[in-house]
Amino acid sequence: MDLESDLKLFEEHIKDVDNRSICVQQLSRVGGSSVRDCVNKVMNRMMSNALMGKFNMRGGGQLEKKAFKATPLYGVIQDAVKRWSPNATDCEIDAAMAEHLKHAPGRAGGGGYKK
């Protein structure tokens, strides 16, 4: 997804329980060498760096970013990573997501850091 409108369409799509479970199942197959690696790979599959750059975990801040934790995609990613690694904790997954979102503007296509 490149735009917030794409994210809204996806959120509408996963309101259906069957669609959500299929999405979680497919994303859990992405895997990785660690929980952090799995989170990074799943997030890269779902969102562009430009879109990730508009979010942080809690929202607000100087740049008035949106809260990623408030999106349905957050829950889908949590469930997918937990399905891939049942021992993964919410805290561990959240930390990996926060770090990935934090550095999104600096990656290719992320739009750069604003002052």
Structural domain that includes position 14 = 4-106
Q: How far from 51 is each of 1, 2, 44, 85, 86, CA to CA, in Å?
A: 7, 6, 10, 26, 28
Report yes or no on 37 lying in a domain. Answer: yes
What is the number of structural domains in the chain? 1
Query: In degrees rounded to 5, what are phi and psi of residue 25?
Result: -60, -45
Report yes or no on 89 lying in a domain. Answer: yes
pLDDT digits (tens, 9 = 90+) for 49-103: 999 999 999 998 888 899 999 999 999 999 999 999 999 999 999 999 999 999 9
d(CA 62, CA 35): 29
| For the chain, percent of residues with pLDDT exceeding 90 | 86
Query: Quick one: DSSP state of residue 7?
Result: H
Q: How far from 11 is each of 15, 31, 76, CA to CA, in Å?
A: 6, 23, 10
Beta pairing partners, 65 = 60
Report yes or no on 48 lying in a domain. Answer: yes
Region 6-21: mean pLDDT is: 96
